[in-house]
Amino acid sequence: MATTSKAKTYMSWLTICFMMVAAVASIRSLPSMAVYGLGSVFLYVIPALLFFIPVSLVASELGTGWNGGIYGWVRQAYGDRPGFFIMWFMWVQVVTWYPIVLGFGASTLAYLINPELAKSGVFTTAVIIVLYWLSTFVALNGMTALSKLTSWFMLLGTALPAALLVLLGVAWLVLGHKSATPLTWDALIPTIFDTHTTAQVGAHKLHQDFWHQFTGAITGLVLIVSNFLAFAGIEMNAIHARELRNPQKEMPRAILLAFFMILLVFIPPTVAISIVVPADSTSLTAGVIQAYSAFFEGFGIPWATPILAILLIIGALGGVLAWTAGPSTGLLFVGKAGMLPPIFQQVNKKGVQKNILYLQAIIVTLLSTIYIFIDNVSDAFWMISAMAALMYLIIYVFMFLAAMKLRKTQPNVKRGYVLKGLHGWCYLGLFSTCVALIFGFIPPSSFSSMPFLEYAGILLLGLIIAGIPPFIFYAVRKPSWQMVPKAEADQYSAALQDLQDEDDKAAAAAAAGNGTTSSTPPPAPAAT
């Protein structure tokens, strides 16, 4: 008697929505917008419309058409070398990001010991090195231990503190405490667009940690594009659109809800910080713990500040743990496909890419010393942040270009989700991304460590140095470097319809041998 194989399990669109929120939402960058109070609403909404929505929509089509994420999409569109470059650049970008999030953790830790330590480059560097090597040793023990720790760390260190920050802000106002920022309708329009911006900024005498201060009309644009990277990373979860029962209808629904939920994670906690911490004393790296300290002092429970500091440090470490093994795993596979020397393909007994993890730990250690060599900790923080941002923006340029090329060169590949007006969305995303790239080379006026040309030159040199290795490896690669069959390497970026066809053939062969029949979902639509 014939039997039917187990039906495919589909993912809920609400699940994908929550995954998007978890990938993007973070309270680490909130202090930079908090000095604008209610005006931060405008500064969050514009990047969300111009960047978040185009990225998520385009990535949804690509993710339901091809395997391998951005690497797979770029490889399909432009070949092995550009694909390898993107995978390498994604890995380097994440490595550059670690000293940023751990710098936030170091400043928070300083409040447990002595707040003045937050200004110490030596202290910041030491904390980053210790925390990162700790996360590396955790990652070396395999994904099981990593996933368990990451889930708890992100819940305790991000979701709970963000919710508590909003509740404290509401309680502060309800109990009659004075707000440090205007809470009027006029305040919804940031003063940066006022013709007297320069005079107002000078009058505020903003804290030296605040790096978003420019003069003239350029101020508003810089602040908006600086928030683009607050929404980065959404493309990683957009690939799960293939697991929806009806991606064409459910994916836009998930993106729209995620859009509003992410803004809720960003805006209310930002306003809560502005309510209790005056603009002229907001610290870029320690602004969140400053807010908690002010709230708890006002409510007469200063003993609660160290507890929140510990939770914030846990959240920072959770963010690092979530990213420690991911990009390096992709780099390992591309390396085994013949792109990296055997030394970078070695794994430990648990199958973890040990030498790549050791290499990135060494790079993070070296990058963290910038906090020592640049006198102002905030200047160092900003330079690393700018470098990571520029790298990610370059990756998004490739993604938008790949989407348009694949629509032209591989129109018959079935996409689970077909984006109407794809070229228009890509042009909008490219325009926004390129504008952000240009402004990424502009130093803040409060950046005192070096002049503009030196600042921009160092960033450009850093991008070149970071991007050269994959081209060198590709040029000198040897056949002996390839550790996996070419067919297996090709599957990593193959069209999903081809992978599905192979699965169907294997299932049919097995069913024929066992006297069973199999069932498959209906084919997805092709792009037109």
Mean pLDDT for each 10-residue chunk of the chain (528 residues)? Answer: 54 77 70 75 83 88 87 93 93 88 84 83 91 85 60 71 88 87 72 44 36 42 62 69 78 83 85 79 70 87 88 78 73 90 90 90 92 77 82 93 95 89 95 86 66 86 93 93 88 78 57 50 49
Q: How far apart are CA 42 and CA 261, in angstroms?
A: 16
**Cβ partners under 8 Å of residue 307, min gap 6:** none
3-state secondary structure 87-99: HHHHHHHHHHHHH
Closest by CA position to 37, among listed 290, 281, 273: 273
Q: Are 465 and 318 in contact (CB under 8 A)?
A: no
Q: How far apart are CA 95 and CA 357, in angstroms?
A: 10
Q: Are 418 and 528 in contact (CB under 8 A)?
A: yes
> Given this model, what pLDDT does residue 211 score?
35
Report CA-CA distances (Å) from 149 to 132, 144, 259, 357, 429: 15, 9, 27, 18, 35
> Given this model, what pLDDT does residue 341 score?
93
Residue whose pair of structure tokens reads 């390498």 in the numeric block: 88
Residue 338: exposure state from Cβ atoms within 10 A (0-12, 13-18, ≥19): buried
Three-state SS at 66:
strand
pLDDT tens, 17-54? 777 776 676 776 677 677 777 877 887 888 888 888 89
Q: How far apart are CA 285 and CA 245, in angstroms?
A: 43
Three-state SS at 517:
strand
Residue 456: exposure state from Cβ atoms within 10 A (0-12, 13-18, ≥19): middle
Q: Domain map of the chain by residue range?
A: 13-514
Q: How far apart are CA 295 and CA 289, in angstroms?
A: 10
Q: Are 495 and 68 in contact (CB under 8 A)?
A: no
Question: How many C-beta neighbours within 10 Å does residue 315 have?
Answer: 28
Angle at the Cα of 23 from the Cα atoms of 444 and 109, rounded to 5 degrees? 60
> Given this model, what pLDDT does residue 2 score?
46
Three-state SS at 385:
helix
**Cβ partners under 8 Å of residue 198, min gap 6:** 215, 216
Domain formed by 13-514, architecture: Up-down Bundle (1.20)
Report CA-CA distances (Å) from 440 to 201, 220, 370: 21, 14, 19
> Given this model, what pLDDT does residue 278 score?
75
Q: What are phi and psi of 196, to 5 degrees?
A: -105, 25
> Given this model, what pLDDT does residue 293 score?
85
Q: Are 336 and 345 in contact (CB under 8 A)?
A: yes
Q: What are phi and psi of 11, to 5 degrees?
A: -95, 145
pTM here is: 0.81
Residue whose pair of structure tokens reads 């960003």 in the numeric block: 266
DSSP 81-142: HHHHHHHHHHHHHHHHHHHHHHHHHHHHHHHHH-GGGGG-HHHHHHHHHHHHHHHHHHHTT-
Q: Which tokens sit at 77?
A: 């569109």
